[in-house]
């Protein structure tokens, strides 16, 4: 019997989608408005889910307070009110698309989750646009 425990979180961040090794025309053609040189912001929403067996002693898969603390330390303190391109080392040479952001977040949280438990991260860039990564 495996149960999924989920925690929602939120951060505001700015980004610009572009490749340094492409011309302005190539970047404009592929990334359009998202290539705005002066950056633009999003209200990112996050759903972090951990799936595993219930510990018979505690009745928990994991203490959701611990999950909240991990998300706060690994994501909110590092991404909230930041410029992802300029302020976050992981995106110095990685385009901060929703896809790349969700993989970076998953990797940061994964190392804090008990082996044997599965991790899934859903990242909303807008209320209608979201991506999912399960480490596959
Ligand atoms: Ni954007």
Question: pLDDT digit string (tens) for 110-127?
Answer: 999 999 999 999 999 999
Integer Cα distance of 96 and 11 in angstroms: 14
125 is catalytic: yes
State the catalytic residue, choosing from 28, 45, 125, 136. 125
81 catalytically annotated: yes
Q: pLDDT category, 135, cuts 50, 70, 90? A: very high
Q: How far apart are CA 76 and CA 12, in angstroms?
A: 9
Residue 49 near residue 4 (C-beta atoms within 8 A): yes
Report pLDDT for 133.
98
| Residue whose C-alpha is closest to residue 17's, from 51, 53, 42 | 42
Query: What is the C-alpha separation between 62 and 50, in angstroms, rounded?
Result: 8
Instruction: Tell me the per-residue pLDDT of 16-65, one tens digit each, with 9 for 90 and over.
Output: 999 999 999 999 999 998 999 999 999 999 999 999 999 999 999 999 99
| Cα–Cα distance measured from residue 61 to residue 48, given in angstroms and rounded to the nearest whole number | 14
In terms of pTM, does the model score above 0.75?
A: yes
- Name the catalytic one among 76, 81, 99, 136: 81
Q: Which of 28, 34, 99, 120 is catalytic?
A: 34
Question: Which CATH fold topology does 2-133 show?
Answer: Tetrahydropterin Synthase; Chain A (3.30.479)
């Amino acid at each position: 019997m495996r149960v999924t425990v989920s925690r929602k979180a939120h951060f505001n961040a700015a980004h610009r989608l572009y490749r340094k090794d492409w011309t302005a025309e190539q970047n404009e053609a592929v990334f359009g408005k998202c290539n705005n040189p002066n950056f633009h912001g999003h209200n990112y929403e996050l759903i972090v889910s951990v799936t595993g067996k219930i510990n018979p002693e505690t009745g928990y898969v994991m203490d959701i307070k611990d999950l909240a603390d991990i998300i706060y330390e690994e994501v909110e303190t590092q991404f909230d009110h930041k410029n992802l391109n300029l302020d976050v080392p992981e995106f110095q040479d990685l385009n901060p698309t929703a896809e790349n952001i969700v993989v970076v977040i998953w990797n940061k949280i994964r190392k804090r989750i008990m082996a044997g438990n599965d991790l899934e991260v859903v990242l909303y860039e807008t209320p209608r646009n979201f991506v999912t990564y399960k480490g596959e």
